Amino acid sequence: MQANKVLIWLKNDLRVSDNPAFIYALKNNLTPIPVFIWAPSEEKPWEPGSATRLWLHNSLKALQDELQNLGLDLIYRLGPSQKALEELIGETKANLVIWNKRYEPALLERDKKIERALSKQVEVKIFNGSLLFDPEQIKNQQGTPFKVFTPFYKHLLTMVETEIVQNYPKQIQQFTKNLKLDFPKIKSLNLSQLELLEPNTAWQKKWQSKMLSYAQCGYGSGFDLLKNFTKKSAGEYKELRDRPDLVGTSRLASHLHFGEISPFQIWKTAQGHEAFTRQLIWREFAHYIMFHFPDSTVNNLKPEFDNFPWKANKKFLEAWKLGQTGYPIVDAGMRELWETGWMHNRTRMIVGSFLIKDLLIHWQEGAKWFWDTLFDADLANNSMGWQWVAGSGVDASPFFRIFNPMLQGAKFDPHGAYVRKWCPELAKLPDEWIHQPFDAPPLILQSAGVKLGDNYPFPLVNHDSARQEALAGLQLTKKS
DNA sequence: TGAAATGTTGGGGCG
DNA sequence: ACGCCCCAACATTTC
**Chain mean pLDDT for chain A:** 94
What kind and span of H or E run contains A123? strand A123-127
Element (H, E) at A48: none
pLDDT beyond 90 at A479: no
What's the CA–C1' distance between A418 and C9, in Å? Answer: 31
Residue A112's pLDDT is 98
- What is the spatial distance, in angstroms and rounded to an integer, between the CA atom of A400 and the C1' atom of B4? 11
Residue closest to A344 by CA, chosen among A247, A414, A417, A410? A247
Strand B contacts (Cβ < 7 A) comprise: A 149, 242, 279, 282, 345-346, 349, 397-398, 400-404, 407-408, 411, 464, 467
Q: Say what the pLDDT of residue A56 is.
A: 98
392-411 of chain A touching strand C, CB 7 A cut-off: 398, 400
Is the separation of the CB atoms in A438 and A405 below 8 Å? no
> pLDDT digits over A370-417, tens only?
999 999 999 999 999 999 999 999 999 999 999 999 999 999 999 999
Burial classification of residue A198, based on how many CB atoms lie within 10 Å of its CB (0-12 exposed, 13-18 middle, 19 or more buried): exposed
Nucleotide nearest to A401 (CA to C1'): B2
A234 pLDDT exceeds 80? yes
* Protein CB footprint (7 Å) on chain C nucleotides: 15
Query: Which nucleotide lies nearest residue A400, CA to C1'?
Result: C15
Strand runs labelled E in A165-287: none
CA of A467 to C1' of B12 (A): 38
Percent of chain A, pLDDT > 70?
A: 96
Which residues are within 8 A (CB) of A140 and not within 5 positions of it... i.e. 6 or more apart? A146, A151, A155
Strand ranges across the sheet with A96-100: A75-78, A31-38, A5-10, A96-100, A123-127
Q: Average of pLDDT values for A320-342? A: 98
Name which of A46-55, A158-167, A334-343, A348-357 the model is least confident about: A158-167
Give the CA-to-C1' distance from A227 to B3 in angstroms. Answer: 39
How many Å does it take to go from CA A320 to C1' B8? 42
**Residue A201 binned pLDDT confidence (cut-offs 50, 70, 90):** confident
- Could you read off the pLDDT of A321-331 as tens digits, one per residue? 999 999 999 99
What was the pLDDT predicted at A165? 73
In this predicted structure, what is the pLDDT of residue A409?
97
The angle formed by the CA atoms of residues A71, A74 and A77, to the nearest 5 degrees, is: 155
The nucleotide minimizing the C1' distance to residue A463's CA is: B3
Closest CA to A197 of A323, A14, A48: A48
The per-residue pLDDT for A480 is: 53
- pLDDT of A181: 67
pLDDT greater than 90 at residue A456: yes
Q: Rounded distance, CA A368 to CA A372, Å?
A: 6
Residue A349's nearest nucleotide, by CA–C1', is B1
Residues A233 and A337: beta-carbon distance below 8 Å:
no
Beta bridge partners of A36: A10, A76
CA distance A192 to A197: 8
Pairing label, strands A75-78, A31-38: parallel
| Nearest DNA or RNA nucleotide to A399 (CA to C1') | C15
Single out the residue of A37, A370, A323, A314 nearest to residue A193, CA to CA: A37
- Sign, Cα dihedral of A220, A22, A101, A139: negative
Cβ neighbours around A479 below 10 Å, total:
7
- Half-sphere exposure of residue A53, counting CA atoms within 13 Å on the CB side? 20
Whether the pLDDT of residue A366 is over 60: the answer is yes
Predicted TM-score of the model (pTM) = 0.96
| Nucleotide nearest A402, from its CA to each C1' | B2
Do the Cβ atoms of A256 and A266 come closer than 8 Å? yes
Q: Show the domains of chain A with their CATH numbers.
A: 1-128 (3.40.50.620), 131-169+202-292 (1.25.40.80), 303-478 (1.10.579.10)
The stretch A242-248 carries a mean pLDDT of 97
Reported as a pLDDT band with limits 50, 70 and 90, residue A116 is very high
Q: Whole-angstrom Cα distance, residue A131 to residue A11?
A: 14
pLDDT given at position A359: 98
Summarize pLDDT for A149-194 with one digit per residue, the tens: 999 999 999 998 888 777 776 666 665 655 666 788 899 999 999 9
pLDDT at residue A104, rounded to an integer: 98
pLDDT at A170: 66
What pLDDT shows up at residue A180? Answer: 61
